[in-house]
Amino acid sequence: MTCNGTRRAVTHDMLLVHHFLATAALLAAAATAPNIPLVDEITSPAKMTAIGPGASGPLVIRAQILLDRAHFSPGEIDGAYGEDLGIAVKGFQEKHNINPDGIIGPEMWTLLNGDRNQLLIRYTITATDERGPFENIPKDVQEQAKMRSMPYQTPNEALAERFHISPKLLAQLNPGKDLTKAGEILTVPNVRRAAAGLATRVVVSKSKRTVTAIGARDVVLAQYPATMGGPHDPLPIGEWKIISVTPNPWFLWNPERFWNVDPSKAIAKLPPGPNNPAGTVWMGLSKEHYGIHGSPEPGAVRHGESYGCIRLTNWDADDLAHMVRRGLTASLVE
């Protein structure tokens, strides 16, 4: 199911099972991280200085992990203070009545550091992690349609998504480690998020390029960076309903729905998987062909444009899917 797909009825219980298994894996990984310089700088910085746009390094990584766990997603954890982190910082500041200047100063550090859980944990690569399945995803859509699934392409990609981190930073945290070998012990972000509760509505902001889950008494439960629409496929401003929540959706690729595709191309049905164009979950809207969904390229979320739909990282889409129900209002605003 995607911007151009047909919906499948799937119970919400499947998402709950997926969430339980993912949480169990993270809990099993939770052990003290090895003592290496970068880890020390992230977990026990000598000085908690203020950071803002353009900053990079251990303090940025610390902030990204803590904001991720607070449900103010910075997107892919990469150690660089870019636009996604800036949006997360301002959203967190607004919720906590701090001047939303985008600077992580003493007041915000105090709130973030109130989370006493370990920032980094050890994770041992399993035989399943090593085995996959992994497949190269062809660029040609018709070839993709011949696949039985669209899985991760490498163990590195799978591990990076599991821990919400860029493959490059994952390698930097684990110098000399083989990220494809069962038994290898890695240092990874502890990104286990506590349950946020059920949303009473979802707000998609075109100007902020965010998706926000709102709970009872208008409390912000979560905020995620998003890619949405563009000049050719603008975001359909208005009040809509979430009419389906579908894990592991199929994607109906219809050339008539794309402004830059030869309309004579054949329609193709693409199989499920994290590298499916709709990612790991689809939340369909009452506006035909539109939905909120995951993405096969987490590093590209909020950069560029989509074909009208609202695209999140796979882990953020999964997180949101546990907060929404069919019939919930989705407000798409300027």
pLDDT value of residue 166:
97
In angstroms, what CA-CA distances link 282 with 126, 164, 321? Answer: 29, 19, 8
Evaluate if residue 22 carries a pLDDT over 60: no
pLDDT band (50, 70, 90) for residue 59: very high
Looking at per-residue pLDDT, the higher value among 139 and 305 belongs to 139
Evaluate if residue 118 carries a pLDDT over 70: yes
Q: Which residues contact 198 (CB under 8 A, 6 or more apart)?
A: 215, 323, 324, 325
Q: Do 61 and 169 touch, CB atoms closer than 8 A? A: yes
pLDDT band (50, 70, 90) for residue 260: low
Structure tokens at 172: 């930097």
Domains of the chain, CATH where assigned? 13-18+194-333 (2.40.440.10), 31-191 (1.10.101.10)
Looking at per-residue pLDDT, the higher value among 55 and 4 belongs to 55
Check the CA dihedral 87-164-196-212 and report its sign: positive
Q: Do 154 and 131 touch, CB atoms closer than 8 A? A: no
Average pLDDT over the chain reads 88
Structure tokens at 143: 């070839």
Query: What pLDDT digit, counting tens, does each position of 69-99 carry?
Result: 999 999 999 999 999 999 999 999 999 999 9
Distance of CA 21 to the CA centre of its chain: 17
Q: Span 210-219, mean pLDDT?
A: 97
Q: Do 152 and 274 touch, CB atoms closer than 8 A? A: yes
Q: Span 242-253, mean pLDDT?
A: 95
CB atoms within 10 A of CB 167: 18
Q: Do 245 and 325 touch, CB atoms closer than 8 A? A: yes
pLDDT value of residue 3:
61
Q: What is the DSSP letter of 162?
A: H
Torsion, Cα of 20, 23, 24, 27 (10° steps): -160
Q: Which runs of consecutive H residues, i.e. helices, occur in 148-203?
A: 155-162, 167-173
- CA 54/CA 48 separation, integer angstroms: 17
- CA 61/CA 58 separation, integer angstroms: 5
pLDDT value of residue 37:
79
Q: Span 193-198, mean pLDDT?
A: 94
- CA 75/CA 81 separation, integer angstroms: 11
Q: Span 236-251, mean pLDDT?
A: 97
Query: What pLDDT digit, counting tens, does each position of 261-273 carry?
Result: 667 787 899 999 9
- CA 237/CA 94 separation, integer angstroms: 24
For residue 219, give the 3-state DSSP assignment: coil
Query: What pLDDT digit, counting tens, does each position of 273-301 carry?
Result: 999 999 999 999 999 989 999 999 999 88
Evaluate if residue 33 carries a pLDDT over 80: no
